[in-house]
Structures are given as structure tokens and as C-alpha cells.
Amino acid sequence: MEGLKSGTRDFRCTWKRISFIFIFTLISFHNFEFTRAKLILPVKRSFSQLEGSGLRKGTDGMTKEHFRQLKDHDFQRSLRHQRMLTSVADFPLDGNEYYVGLYYTELGLGTPSQKYYVQVDTGSDLLWVNCKPCPRCPRESNLNVPLNLYDLLETSTGKNVSCLSSECKTLASISASRCVDKSCYYGFGYGDGSTTMGYLVEDVLTFSTIVGNDTVKNATANIVFGCGFNQTGSSLTSSDRAVDGIMGFGRQVLSVVSQLADDELTTSEFAHCLQGDTGHGGLFVIGDIQEPGLVYTPMVPNEFHYNVNLQRISVGDTMLDIDPDVFAVDGSGDGGTIFDSGTTMALFVDKAFSAFVNQLLLVVNVPYVTIEDTTCFEYSSRDVSSVFPSVTLYFDGGAQMQLKPENYLYRQQVTMSSQWCLAWSPSSSSNLDLSILGDIVLKNKLVVYDIEKEQIGWMDFNCQSSVKVSSGNASGNQEVSPDLVTISKGFSLSPAVGLRLPMLSLTLVLLRAFFNLKI
């Protein structure tokens, strides 16, 4: 058989075992010559129109069933964490940390460029999209976005990636991989039982860049990504919350940000600002962030994920009696605290979670009940700050993260009223022994991931405001606004509602997926 480009329609694949990945949404524009771009991505949150959304008028929180779906989403995502020349690039985000726990963007691939909607995932590395032929791929989406199948036969710039390439050798370290007809095949398994199988291709990526403070232009770059032609499992094959693929922004060399930085098109630093349940998505920027007020903590070295050292927690003015060692990464690389924009809520190691809950119940003079292992307070007012204390997280290097009650509580519907329930859970509930900071914690903050310096920074931020990014020349900083780039269909930032459970922003710790391939 000749290369995959002439024979992709003949593959039949069988799959066993799996893990989980996270997705990102990207925007596409047209051609632009540049020296190290500042990429911009508006992001959307899925299902902002559904119950539980802060954008829905007259709603009073989410239902119990809604919350169950979100917890299941986070649980399935958590299974992934069980060992396995300067300009700005901008990606608009859509989606919501609630309801389905999905932020997505739009990107362009191929020549002529075709649009794809992909989930943004800081917990995985590889960008992959659904690819022809794909009998099980969804043809429509409840997110109200058009779906598209990548076709290597219909792009003039696409080609297969050899199994002798460095990219294929790297892929073997994060997935099951196999050479077939000199092409590089991969397999990823997910914690919910879904799987994806495909092969590596190289083609043109089209994305948005900022030139000056208010000019958006298209840029292009050759990039290696996955052509996924055999998906299984409802999360990848049903129309519910369907998108075209996953865009990984992890720490490894196959991630989009690493590939663009290696080609000296962008820096290896990026940031996101997620608007939470009261906004319409947010912003994702690749470039040197120059906002004053950012505080930083070092990443744990040699980790797949964006892992840091959390040391202490205070509730109000009371420092919790927690041994810092419970947060530490052990000798085998397990443990730590992961920043994960793909997880809706948050997980904390059991000893820390118990100390937090005990102190909260001690200082909050509000009746509470336990609903399906979740503590809910019988308090219906939206003014939670007058009753519930603030929380502070203390990190290595002296960085602190100030949290409001809305960063650890969510509003839930009950008969004729509403309650405020804990959006934090013990890590043992997801069979983990690490802590995960999801969107409930990260929302309404500018979060910066500096891969080169191996540090993560953050600050409270209005996600509808402009972000200052270095222009790399004497002209000073550029202002990147969420309004500069929007997600088509209309490309505007709208959130999805609902809680996402531990969809961690970790580079995939994949369960090795094994497959048999027949031509």
C-alpha cells in the first residue's frame, strides 16, 4: 500500500483500554508574515444557555442532576492523572466551567484553510481533529457549532509524518504508537472508556495575531497534529458537547505552544483568563505577558503536567493545621498540585480537604446538609461574601492566591429555593492522591504558564479587559482584548454552563492504549 494519503479510507481498527484528554478552541484567519507572533484565541464556554448558567435570567442555580453530570465529567478526567520576532497569538475561548466543563476555540487547518472547533486542554499535548474516514464521529453538535472532518486528500499542503521522525518517537512516550506503512499511528484511551486512534500528519495551521494594539491579522505555520479516524465512546461519538477535536497546551514538545516556540514563531509562554459562569468564555494568549501584579510559583521540574508546590491553606484569618508534606510530590512523581483549566471544580488531598471543611463549618453560622457526599448550605442569598470567609492558598516561593466564596461554592437549585454547595472534593473521591485547581478556582484570574522559566503566575483580573503583552521591540507593550477576535458562527465569547469535574490541565498521564490495526 502507498502512503496513508492514498489509502486512509481502508483502515479498520480495533481498540482496548484508555485514558482521557482535554480540548481547546482556536480561531482562524488568513495569511500574515511575521517574526514571532502573539497568538490570540477567544474561547467559549459550552452551554451558556442551559440551566445553572449565570447568563440565564431567572435561574437559581443548577439542578442536582446537572451537578452529577459535572462531577462525573471531572471524575472521568481525573483518571488521566494516574501516571501516564515577537508578536502575540490570540485564541478566543467559548464554553463554561459549568454544565459540561468545556472551553473551546476555533482554528484553521490545511490549504485551503478549513475551520475546526477544538477543546482547549492544558492537560494534554497533542492537537488532534476528527479525520476522514470516521464512521463514528459525530456529524452535529449540541453546542451549535458546525462540525468538520479533516481530509488529507483535500489539502494541498498536508502530508504524513514518518514513523522515523522525532515527533513519532516523542509520541511513543505519551501514547501507544505503531508504524504502519511507514506512517506514525497513535492511540489514546480515556478514563470514561472512550478511545481515539489516528496517525500523525503535518499541515498548515492558521491562527490570529495582534499587530499593534488593535489590528488582527492571520498567520500560518506548519504544525504536526493527529488525524483521528477511529473514535469510540459517547464522549467522542455523541452529539452532546461534540467538537472536532482537542488542542493540547501541555509542557511537552508536541503541544501547539511548544511547536510554535521551537519554530521561533511565538514564545513558550501563554496565559488564559476564564470568565466563569457570569461571562462568555474568555481569552487565551501566547506571548510574553507584561501585567503588573502577577505573582509566580515555580513548576515542579520534570513533570508532565503543570504541577506546583502548594504549602498551606488559610480560612479567613485561621491557618489550617496541615503538614505541607501532604501536598508534596513524592519520589515516584506522584502528588503535588496541578493547574487544570479542564477540570470544573477542585480536588484537594484528603487531609487538607477535611481540615478545610471542618474550619468552614466552624465559622459559618448557616445550617447545612449532606447531599450525595457534598456539603450544601441552606442559604439562598447571592451575597455569599457576607457569610462565608475568604480562603488563601500559599505556594512555594511566597506566592499567594486569594479566593472568594464563589471560588469554592456553587449555587444549586432545590425545591422553591437554592443552596450553596461545596465545589471542592477530596482527591480520594477520584482515586487520586494529588490536588487539582480547576476552573472554579482559576476563573476571573489571569493565569500565566511560562514553560521556559518553569513557573506559573496569576492575578485577579477582569477577563473582559485587555491584557498587556510584550511586543518585543521599542514600541512597548501591546493591548490584547477579548473583543479583537471572536469565535465565528458568531465568533463571540459565550460560556457554557455547568460544573466540570477534574478535567485537569495536566499533560496526559495516559493509560497505555493497546490496539490491533488491520489494513
Q: How far is CA 123 from CA 80, 281, 368, 424, in A?
A: 9, 18, 34, 19
User: 258 with 232: CB under 8 angstroms?
Assistant: no
Closest CA to 227 of 120, 144, 304, 154: 154
DSSP letters spanning 161-223: PBTTSHHHHHHTTTSEEEEETTEEEEEEE-TTS-EEEEEEEEEEEEEEEEETTTEEEEEEEEE
Which helix (H) or strand (E) element contains residue 79? none
* Cα 201–Cα 264–Cα 225 angle in degrees, nearest 5: 15
The sign of the torsion formed by the CA atoms of 121, 431, 353, 498 equals positive
The sign of the torsion formed by the CA atoms of 38, 259, 236, 130 equals positive
> Which residues does residue 457 pair with via DSSP β-bridges, in sequence order?
296, 448
Enumerate the active-site residues: 121, 340
Instruction: Please name the residues in contact with 519: beta carbons below 8 A apart, sequence gap of 6 or more.
Output: 1, 7, 10, 11, 12, 180, 181
Residue carrying C-alpha cell 508578536:
87
Dist. CA 388–CA 395, nearest whole Å = 23
Dist. CA 51–CA 380, nearest whole Å = 17
Residue carrying C-alpha cell 462568555:
280
Please classify residue 487 by burial: count the beta carbons closer than 10 Å to its beta carbon, then call 0-12 exposed, 13-18 middle and 19+ buried. buried
User: 208 with 88: CB under 8 angstroms?
Assistant: no
Backbone angles phi, psi at 333, to 5 degrees: 90, 0
- Could you tell me where the DSSP H helices lie in 342-438? 350-363
